[in-house]
Amino acid sequence: MADYLGSVPERLARNVYETDEEQSHIEVNQEIARATGTGKLIVQVCPAHVYAEEPDGTISVEYAACLECGACRAVAAPGALTWHNPRGGMGIAFREG
Ligand code: SF4
């Protein structure tokens, strides 16, 4: 049941994204991600479905949808994932109301 602010999808739809078209703020080291199981973990943990496992086993990244929650960073093995904040003014702006 939605509260007075609306359902989760409705609330997420209020957010504004300023996508950095030139530079991703996320990079996956495919070799380390595969060897450590990080690839499967980040696909499972990301609430925005930024990551997907391709048929060849590589992990694709749709960084424009990132909510900047940090969950992928928490589960990634060292060296498997490079994540930094989007460049100034880029990324998500949360709108609560
Ligand atoms: Fe997904 Fe959150 Fe990682 Fe962004 S920071 S890619 S939303 S898990």
Instruction: Give the list of residues 6+ apart from residue 42 with CB closer than 8 angstroms, or none.
Output: 28, 33, 51, 59, 72, 75, 76, 81
Residue 70 lies in a domain: yes
Residue 21 sits in a domain whose CATH number is: 3.30.70.20
Distance from Cα 95 to the centre of ligand 1, integer Å:
18
Which numbered atom of ligand 1 lies nearest the CA of 26? 6
Q: What's the number of domains the chain is made of? A: 1
- For ligand 1, the distance from its centroid to the CA atom of residue 7, given in whole angstroms, is 20
Which residue range is the domain that position 78 belongs to? 17-93
Residue 5 has a pLDDT of 73
Residue 41: inside a domain, yes or no? yes
- CA 51 to centroid of ligand 1, rounded, Å: 9
Nearest-CA residue for atom 6 of ligand 1: 66
Q: Is 31 exposed, middle or buried (0-12, 13-18, 19+ CB in 10 A)?
A: exposed
Mean pLDDT by groups of 10 residues along the chain of 97 residues: 71 90 97 98 96 98 96 98 95 84
Distance CA 95, CA 47 (A): 17
